[in-house]
Structure 1
Amino acid sequence: MRTNPKPSLDHGLPSTLRALADLGAADLDGLNDDYSFRGDLAARCRTLTERAYGRGERAALEEVHTALALVHDAEFSAATLDEVDHERQPILRDVAALLERAVLGHELTRISEDDVTGHPTTGPEYVRWLKALVSEHPAGWHPLYHSHLAQAGTREDLRLLLAQETSLDPRFDDILAFLQIGRSGGEKLEIAANYWDEMGNGDPTLVHSALFARVLDSIGADPAYIRDSFLLEAGICGNISAALALSRRHYYKAVGYFGVTEYLAPRRFRCVVDAWRRHDLDEDGIVYHDLHIGVDAQHAAGWFKNVVHPLLHADQRAGREIALGALIRLNTSADYLDALLERMPALPAVPATAAV
């Protein structure tokens, strides 16, 4: 029997979404059929995104990304036998579609059309152009990694950084699984090879998500610490990563976005490894980053050659979409690292005599 209880819309969008977890299968079916409720929920989403992006209200922005994170957590979670009849997708996808459109729409307004057009139309030249785009961007060589961590990063700085990295690293294997859907040939094989590396090449002890969990454990970044120290800007990066992977229509942007992620990882992870060892921390905890210095360099090269090249060869319009994804990654990465660096102690001033 359907009682069709309606979660309250008066306590914020995240509260409404959390209330869905307490509804039984029949109640959820009734709610899915209640288009009055779904219309009110959609209106609430539009009002919230207008406050966040139209008026620049940070509290509204935080609510948008808390709600979107709840939807994405559900997408990346395993089903339980107790809930095989619990259909939440219609409502969750209503919310995700509206919030993701606002989030990505905002990011696109930050990109100049001049930066994504006029690019080369053949694979090798396009990749060189794309790499130059990365190198010229502030995120390409960010001071958080290459000045702060490299020179004076503390153990606490490492812990704070790694807590933020939970927005992507623990689910990167699943993101690669999503990206393979519908692809074929060498393009799919390249993503699959990357995925197999994430799976430790069949060795359960070397699965990358498990290695990352060891990093967090070694540095003392437990769930409570992550929750209390997590930055909005890190959450935005995580939500955009998930949105691009989950929606087939965003595939070309995802290729640029995650290509930049792979390309920047080795130089960034080298700074993490050096800081880790400078503090003589547990070697078992740095296997993840140490491994990725070499692996991600190979992944980036393969990604450019076997994914980017064929897409551009098949349709030159892909170049613009890939560049948009790359710049979304660079812009949001710079936002996140800027915000994180503000939370870390300033570098000590160099005495004048030391410069002689």
Structure 2
Amino acid sequence: MQLPAPRGPLSQQVCEILAGRSSDQPSVASLPRPVDQLIDDDDFQLALWMLFELHYRGFDGVDPDLEWDPLLIHSRGRLEACLEELLRDLTRDDVRRAKETGGDFATRLITLIDELDRGSLATFLQRRASKEQFSDFMRQRSIYHLKESDPQSFVLARIDGPAKAALAEVQYDEYGAGDPDRLHAGLFARALDSLGLDSTYGAYIDEASASTLAVNNVMSMFALRRRLRGASLGHLAAFEATSSAPCRRIVGGAERLGLPHAAAHYFDEHVEADAVHEQLAIRNICATLVEQDPRLEDDVLLGAASCLKMDQIAGAALTQRWDVEQARPRVVREQRIGANA
């Protein structure tokens, strides 16, 4: 994968360092926006995404040893601190309400997920999306789904006992249950191919919105910090618990549009699989993890709430952009009519 095009001074600095054109440390002090606006900050999110990507597939022509460069790790930590502060502020009330819910931890986690679950994007795709909008959705989602489940694999070495066994079971399914042709990332790649899109890893990074990058950055931050292992698994639980029904709606949208079978097959595969994974993630992973170490409860709830809120933000940004794009030709036509009157 090539380095993406910078979107501001921070991502420009990171690009220059990775390309070997600079030895300076990225300057977090130059951030142009307060922390509560970082989700929509293209420059911040792209810079952080590039630093995280060094731990996945890396970039063409970039020294692989930069993955553990002390200055880059230090800079990434400062960016992560900003993102974590934002997430804790964003989810504080949700975590508090969940902890006040009666019952065992699984009940508290399910209550939080039920309160925050919103399926508006999947419903839009099912009922209203055009073929162009469906393709746009797939390009945005490719940033994660072409490395699907890879963030959570970092967590396996950081937990033990029943939670580790259950996470390994989920990951085994995500990675095709031993069959490379059934890797979920591979299924998504074939869905892209069927739509005439580029299934190369990272092909659409320059199209990815700030909120799409933020969704990915949250997953990577939780997974790559042992301290936040509970948040990573809470994120996984919320992701799996809110996947089955939306995937069914997306399948309906693909069928309504007459898209190739491969485009719907990826989502159809997740309708049943994620219904099973939901129970594994909530009860066998998160509940047993908190039973082993009650201190992780707040972070598990943080991860679940962050997953759902970030998905809502990214989904709303995408549908709002589509609404603006649909309205623009109508406004232009009205202006032309007015000018000719």
Instruction: Please classify the TM superposition score into its range, dividing by the shorter chain length.
Output: 0.7 to 0.9
Match of 2:10 among 8, 13, 25: 13
Kept after mapping to 2: 8 A contact 1:121/1:312: no
CA contact (8 A) 1:265 1:292 kept: yes
Give CA deviations for 1:194-240 in whole Å, capped at 9, x if unaligned.
Answer: 11112211111111111111112222333798345422111111111
Provide the C-alpha distance between the structure 1 equivalents of 2:292 and 2:271, rounded to a whole number of angstroms: 31
> 2:118 maps to what in 1?
141
Task: Report 1:1-356 matches (<5 A).
Answer: 12-23=9-20, 37-38=24-25, 41=26, 44-48=27-31, 51-54=32-35, 56=37, 61-77=41-57, 83=63, 89-113=69-93, 115-116=95-96, 119=99, 125-137=104-116, 140-146=117-123, 148-222=124-198, 226-227=204-205, 229-345=207-323
The one-letter amino acid of 2:227's match is: R
Per-residue displacement from partner, 1:84-120 (whole Å, max 9, x unpaired)?
6667521221121011110111121122347436627
The residue identity in structure 2 corresponding to 1:323 is L
Cα distance in 2 for partners of 1:288, 1:152 equals 20
CA positional deviation for 1:331: 1.4
Paired AA for residue 107 in structure 1? L
Aligned equivalents of 1:87, 1:115: Cα separation in 2: 33
Which one-letter code corresponds to 2:297 in the other structure? G
What per-residue deviation string (whole Å, max 9, x for no partner) do you get for residues 30-77 of structure 1? x5xxxxx44xx4xx21331xx322584888x21111111111111111
Shift of 1:79: 9.2
TM-score where L is the length of structure 2:
0.83
- Listed as ranges, the gaps of 5+ residues in structure 2 are 1-7, 327-341
Cα separation, 2, equivalents of 1:213 and 1:261: 20
* CA–CA separation in structure 1 for the residues paired with 2:149 and 2:72: 23
Amino acid at match of 1:144: L
State how far apart, in whole Å, the 2-side matches of 1:120 and 1:18 are: 45
Pick the structure with greater CA Rg. 1
Q: Distance in 2 between matches of 1:96 and 1:167?
A: 20
CA 314–185 in structure 1, closer or farther in 2 if over 3 Å, else same? closer
Q: Which amino acid aligns with 2:310?
A: T
Please provide the CA RMSD for this pair: 3.1
Report the 3-state secondary structure (helix = DSSP H, G, I; strand = E; otherwise coil) of the residue aligned with 2:165. Answer: helix
Match for 1:204: what amino acid?
Answer: P
In structure 2, what is the Cα distance between the partners aligned to 1:120 and 1:65?
A: 33
> By how many angstroms is 1:186 displaced?
1.7
User: Is the alpha carbon distance of 1:21 and 1:118 closer, same or farther for their aligned partners in structure 2, counting shifts above 3 Å?
Assistant: closer
Unaligned runs of 5+ in 1: 1-10, 32-36, 348-356
Give the whole-Å Cα distance in 2 for the aligned partners of 1:70 and 1:87: 10
Residue 266 of structure 2 aligns to a residue whose secondary structure is helix
- Contact 1:190–1:302 (CA under 8 A) maintained in structure 2: yes
* 8 A Cα contact 1:116 1:323, kept in partner: no
Letter in 2 for 1:221: L
| Identical columns (%) | 22
Residues 330, 171 of structure 1: alpha-carbon distance in 2 compared, 3 angstrom cutoff: same
Question: Is residue 176–residue 192 contact of structure 1 (8 Å, CA) maintained in 2?
Answer: no
Alpha-carbon distance between aligned partners in 1 of 2:63 and 2:94, rounded to the nearest angstrom: 49
Structure-2 change in CA distance of 1:167 and 1:129 (3 Å): same
Q: Distance in 2 between matches of 1:131 and 1:338?
A: 23
Q: 2:94 touches 2:305 (CA, 8 Å); kept in 1?
A: no
Matched residue count: 317
Kindly state the Cα deviation for residue 125 of structure 1 after the two structures are TM-superposed.
2.9
Give the TM-score, by structure 1 length: 0.79
The whole-number CA distance in structure 1 between the counterparts of 2:109 and 2:192 is 33
